[in-house]
Amino acid sequence: MFNWVLIDEIIVNALKEDISNIDITTDNLIDNKSISKACMITKENGVIAGLAVAKRVFEMIDGEIKVIFNVKDGDEVTKGVNIAEIKGSTKAILKGERIALNILQRMSGIASISKKYSEIVKDYPVRIVDTRKTTPGLRILEKYAVRVGGCHNHRYNLSESVMIKDNHIRAVGGIKKAVAKIKDRTSHTVKIEVEVESVNKLKEAIEAGADIVMLDNMNIDEMTKAVKVAEGRVLLEASGGLNIGNIVDVAKTGVDIISVGALTHSAKAMDISLNIF
């Protein structure tokens, strides 16, 4: 599911940020031999994501701690559900609480909004995808949460695939020149996506040999026309200002992909608490 080398690095950095020396409260109040039980309780409805990562936080603090889940990633839960039970060192529970919750709440919030987007277009042959508008350092977690919610991932980073955007085009001197140059310098296995802002530029991108064309900030009429012009020769991605209120209209145009930055950059963290009992 995860590259745990990368996940462990995220957790270590988070713990170093949260405990620069000692936990001045816990280490002075709690005996080393103290054992406690705790549970994680949802305080609102949503979709759970990130349980294994939250568990890993506690395990990295104390390898003897036990975490048992009552739900799994992707489950839709209501307010008041006991989603996990934790038993072990009281100190470890208290020291890991905030980092585990921060990660779990963030990922569950993204999964929850992704679920709403995926459900609203489920009757259309279109994919909702995320963008690179993620929290620095947390992209692997956030893109996983998008998938848990039923949406899909766009490219993971700048090294993964080609996307020739407006600034690239201006810098090189046109779509045709940009596509030709990138084809000459990359493998035949690499897909090439080109961003355009008009139907005429779409035609130019198709003629240049693009595999995917991003329709940037086009209105519904322009997208509809673009689909007719493309005639299935390239994949069409709608992008720019798309949200829960307008994606159904966009899906109806016949585009193949709708990219929504809000899946990650505007997701509200799901409210989850941890209580020792």
Token pair in block for residue 108: 């569950």
Is the Cβ–Cβ distance between 61 and 95 less than 8 Å? yes
| 192-230 pLDDT, tens digit each | 999 999 999 999 999 999 999 999 999 999 999 999 999
The domain locations on the chain are: 4-115+268-276, 152-259
Specify the pLDDT at position 195.
98
Instruction: Tell me whether residue 216 is annotated as binding.
Output: yes
Angle at 18 between CA 15 and CA 19, to 5 degrees: 80
Is the Cβ–Cβ distance between 270 and 41 less than 8 Å? no
d(CA 113, CA 251): 18
Instruction: Tell me whether residue 85 is annotated as binding.
Output: no
Instruction: Tell me whether residue 187 is annotated as binding.
Output: no
Instruction: Tell me whether residue 133 is annotated as binding.
Output: yes
pLDDT interval class at 2 (50, 70, 90): confident
d(CA 200, CA 215): 11
Instruction: Tell me whether residue 155 is annotated as binding.
Output: yes
Does the domain formed by 4-115+268-276 have CATH 3.30.70.3040? no
| 11-66 pLDDT, tens digit each | 999 999 999 999 999 999 999 999 999 999 999 999 999 999 999 999 999 999 99
Residues contacting 266, CB < 8 A, separation 6+: 113
Catalytic residues: 133
Token pair in block for residue 51: 């349980």
CATH number of the domain at 152-259, please? Answer: 3.20.20.70
Report which residue type is found at 50: G
Residue ranges of alpha helices (H) inside the chain are 4-18, 26-29, 51-61, 90-120, 139-148, 166-172, 175-185, 199-208, 220-230, 247-252, 262-265
Calculate the average pLDDT of the chain.
Answer: 97
Residues contacting 159, CB < 8 A, separation 6+: none
